[in-house]
Amino acid sequence: MTGATQGNEKVNSGFDMRSEIAKLAERIVEPVAAKLGAQELDPLVGRIRSIFEELNTQRASADADFEHMAVDIVEPLRSILSEADFGRIVDRLSGAMAAFCQKVFEGQRAA
């Protein structure tokens, strides 16, 4: 092995996709986190993590409706959040899913 190859392996072995997905889920809900209690926030973050883990292992179809998927995930909190906050989280989540899957479509799937 060359030094460059060994360096790349170290970088790759240090990447934990599940940890990164967890961080992403928390960042998506960050704008409304202070408005939610742990009993609302924890399940939402869990649902978001689950969908990203699923998107990472299963290829989403090219015509996937990420906005509809995001609405379904956030819907249980519609009555708690203002319409503006609800829309903001749906937009952040659907945009993140589209960007995440674009990388998958380009062949950059994480292991």
Query: Which residue type sits at 108?
Result: Q
Confidence of residue 56 (pLDDT cuts 50, 70, 90): confident
d(CA 90, CA 66): 9
- pLDDT at position 26, please? 94
Is the pTM of the predicted complex or chain greater than 0.75? yes
Q: What are phi and psi of 90, to 5 degrees?
A: -60, -45
pLDDT single digits (tens) 61-111: 666 899 999 999 999 999 999 999 999 999 999 999 998 887 655 555 444
